Amino acid sequence: MNPTPRAEPSTVLTVTLNPALDISMSVDQLVPDRKLRADGCRREAGGGGVNVARVLHRLGAPCVSFVVAGGPVGAELVERMRNEGLTVVDFPIVADTRESVAITETLTDRQYRISVPGPHVNDVDGLRRSILEAVGAARVVVLSGSVPPGVPQDFLVSTIDALRPGTATIVDTSGPALASVARHSAAIIKPSQRELADLVGWEPTTPEQIEQAVSEVITRGRVRAVVASRGPSGALLATRDATARWFRPPAVRPVSTVGAGDSMVAGIAAALAEGQDLDDAVRLGVAAGTAAVLTPGSELCDPADVARFVDHVIVA
């Protein structure tokens, strides 16, 4: 394992506790009990924070990517990240990093995605120390993706609490880990519509209901801000000290929605690292998420599309 790089000023640190080696392929049709021939097989480094780091790199934003990696699969994941030009801090574990599979059925254009929980992490205290060492002078820390077995659900909260005051923290996770952050941490969270429903215990569907649900999250917890993503409708930003506002993207014909949420987080992080305010950061995030839906499969956003969309995001 390489020595831990230090983040430089204006750098974003992304943290991925449960990365995956993403394996994707396509078949004409999924048929049970038959050997199927696959085309277009790809192996890519994946997981929430990894994808955020890949987008940040494309946008030209300085970034250090912290990943938990184990076994031959973890070694391949780290190598693929470094081959893309990413600066990687790898926290070694014994068990193999997980693999995930995405199969596209070309006859219907449906995609089937299969994921596993991931390897067990034993040294939780060492993991936290390594993350804090990797932060360096980073202005923004992104904690994205699921929490692996062995890591307590309040781990993100205790890690955020240990960061230097003034560090902007963005959390994009789900389940009990997201609920813990929403209740106890002054972070920026980015729930999807489904994750927002889990936080409040009911299903918001209309824009008015989403505004109500986000208000409940703000009132009940300590979060600095909620950026609730709603696909082609854009995102709702709510903070503790300002009126909620919608960020609506330009209309586009989507090709694939895979990676749109990670692209949005990357756009927000890149802007905050440059010293922009949260409104401008969400505007860039929505532009990046919109650009991501124009690319096929798991392909990431094109920076040229991000640049041309950002001025067309409407704030209301």
**Beta bridge partners of residue 237, listed in sequence order:** 227, 245
The model's pLDDT over 70-90, given as tens digits with 9 standing for 90+, comes to 999 999 999 999 999 999 999
Check residue 128 and give its pLDDT: 97
39 flagged as catalytic: no
178: left (phi over 0), alpha (psi -120 to 50) or beta: alpha
Tell me the Cα Rg of the chain.
19
Going by their DSSP bridges, the two strands 12-16 and 63-70 should be labelled as parallel
The amino acid at 105: E
The model's pLDDT over 111-146, given as tens digits with 9 standing for 90+, comes to 898 988 899 999 999 999 999 999 988 999 999 999
Kindly report which listed range (10-19, 21-30, 215-224, 290-299) carries the lowest average pLDDT score. 290-299
Neighbour-count burial for 115-151, b at 16+ CB within 10 Å, e otherwise? beebbebeeeeebeebbeebbbebbbbbbbbbbbebb
Domain ranges of the chain: 12-29+39-315
Give yes or no for residue 272 having a pLDDT over 90.
yes
Catalytic residue among 90, 262, 279, 311: 262
Give yes or no for residue 215 having a pLDDT over 70.
yes
Is residue 180 within 8 Å of 154, Cβ to Cβ? yes
Check residue 258 and give its pLDDT: 79
Handedness of CA 284, 285, 290, 295 (dihedral sign): positive
Query: Residue 257 — very low, low, confident or very high, per pLDDT cuts 50/70/90?
Result: confident
Which CATH code for domain 12-29+39-315? 3.40.1190.20
Q: How far apart are CA 193 and CA 80, in angstroms?
A: 32
Give yes or no for residue 1 having a pLDDT over 70.
no
Residue that has been written with the tokens 């208000």 in this structure: 215
Give yes or no for residue 296 having a pLDDT over 80.
no
Check residue 9 and give its pLDDT: 40
What mean pLDDT is predicted for residues 136-164? 95
